């Protein structure tokens, strides 16, 4: 069976379930807040609770790989099950791994997350382009072949990011603008058919006018993952000011703003639904 491209599946999920991505970030302090141990048992209980509560309701679930990797192979086993269970329940899974390397190593990362035969196969993965956008080719090609997506770090919300992302290249464009232009080129074929592209950018919701200051055009004809909603200070009301005409393609990402309502499943569901409604109100 042929899998529809990620962009098309994401658009359908956002239209039916609401435009929201909920992170699965089981860091130590949140496990403690939930009354769980900072161990594999706590990790598994936390992750299963989030997946069971939200995977049938939200468009995207985004596990942060690092919080599972810190527990070694047993943590990765929890992650593998979470990916499988979330996808089986209808959520798109975006693996937040931020991988970036060259050649065969980048190819191995692509095989880990974008090969349907891998136990960590996800609908999309985050990657870093700062070894050069061309270094991402193995991931881009693997995603295209499997109907998956890729989100590329472009204008991140951390203040340190500006020293690289706002840097000006020899041709007078900023690094961020170059990344975004490259993504638009990758999405050209899908855009020509009137569909949302499968190759997206990560652009922080807390950036305000930083995109325009970097000379960056946010219309990449693909999705824009927008972290920073909630604990980092941004709200859904900030999205039109940051993204302008591209706001309909924004996938706001919230973690603590929803997860802090656990471990009660009903409270998690209510928090996610409330946030999705707030985003929908400003995106329409």
Q: Which residues are catalytic?
A: 98
The three-state secondary structure class of 124 is strand
Instruction: Compute the distance between CA of residue 165 and CA of residue 180 in angstroms, rounded to an integer.
Output: 11
What does each C-alpha distance from 113 to 121, 122, 193 come to in angstroms?
4, 6, 27
* Contact yes or no for 275/257 (Cβ under 8 A): yes
**C-alpha closest to that of 50 among 263, 276, 273:** 263
The pair phi, psi for residue 236, each rounded to 5°, is -55, -30
Tokens of 249: 């393609």
Helix spans in 55-169 (H): 65-69, 72-88, 103-114, 137-146, 162-165
């Amino acid at each position: 069976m042929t899998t529809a491209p990620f962009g098309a599946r994401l658009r359908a999920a956002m239209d039916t379930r609401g435009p929201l991505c909920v992170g699965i970030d089981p860091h130590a302090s949140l496990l403690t807040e939930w009354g769980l141990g900072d161990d594999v048992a706590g990790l598994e209980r936390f992750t299963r609770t989030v997946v069971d509560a939200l995977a049938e309701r939200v468009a995207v679930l985004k596990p942060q790989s690092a919080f599972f990797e810190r527990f070694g192979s047993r943590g990765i086993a929890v992650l593998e099950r979470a990916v499988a269970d979330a996808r089986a329940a209808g959520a798109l899974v975006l693996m937040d791994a931020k991988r970036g390397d060259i050649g065969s190593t980048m190819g191995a990362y692509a095989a880990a997350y974008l090969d349907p035969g891998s136990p960590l196969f996800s609908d999309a993965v985050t990657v870093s382009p700062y070894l050069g956008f061309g270094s991402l080719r193995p991931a881009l090609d693997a995603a295209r072949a499997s109907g998956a997506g890729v989100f590329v770090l472009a204008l991140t919300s951390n203040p340190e990011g500006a020293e690289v992302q706002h840097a000006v290249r020899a041709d007078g464009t900023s690094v961020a603008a170059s990344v975004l232009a490259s993504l638009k080129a990758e999405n050209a074929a899908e855009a020509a058919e009137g569909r949302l592209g499968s190759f997206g950018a990560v652009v922080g919701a807390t950036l305000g006018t930083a995109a325009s200051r970097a000379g960056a055009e946010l219309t990449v004809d693909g999705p824009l993952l927008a972290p920073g909603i909630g604990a980092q200070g941004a709200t859904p009301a900030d999205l039109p000011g940051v993204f302008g005409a591209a706001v309909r393609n924004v996938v706001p990402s919230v973690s603590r703003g929803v997860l802090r309502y656990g471990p009660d499943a009903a409270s998690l569901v209510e928090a996610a639904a409330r946030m999705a409604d707030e985003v929908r109100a400003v995106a329409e």
